[in-house]
Structures are given as C-alpha cells and as structure tokens.
Amino acid sequence: MYFLEVALFVAGLILLVVGYRKSHRNLMLCAAITLFLSAALPSAISGFWEGYTEARSAR
C-alpha cells in the first residue's frame, strides 16, 4: 500500500513539473488528480477492505 502512495506522489510531481514548464493545463489537471489520489486512495482502499471483511464475517 505504501508503494502505491509513493508511486502516485512521484508521478504527480513529474506531471506537475512537465505541465508547468510546457504551460499545458491538462497535464497540470492530471497532476492535481494524481496528487489527490496519492493522499486519499490508501485510506479509501483500507476502509473498503475493512467494510468488506466485516460484512463477510457478519454472515
């Protein structure tokens, strides 16, 4: 899980630098989304997994 967070963060930074240097708004938008996912995705996945296992154990 930690590897995914770091990989998304690095990809977001690379997209941000390239988009800023080329003045390419779509790349900067992709960078913003990627940086957001790098922070939000691990907790969302773990929350989903906890809910899934609780639902299966409640049967």
Domain count along the chain = 1
Domain ranges, residue 31: 2-57
> What does pTM read for this prediction?
0.77
Q: How far apart are CA 38 and CA 18, in angstroms?
A: 18
Burial call 25-37: b when 16+ CB within 10 Å, e when fewer: eebbebbeebbeb
Q: What are phi and psi of 58, to 5 degrees?
A: -75, -15
Give me the torsion for CA of 39, 43, 49, 52, rounded to 10°: -120
pLDDT digits (tens, 9 = 90+) for 2-58: 888 999 999 999 999 999 999 999 999 999 999 999 999 888 999 999 999 999 998
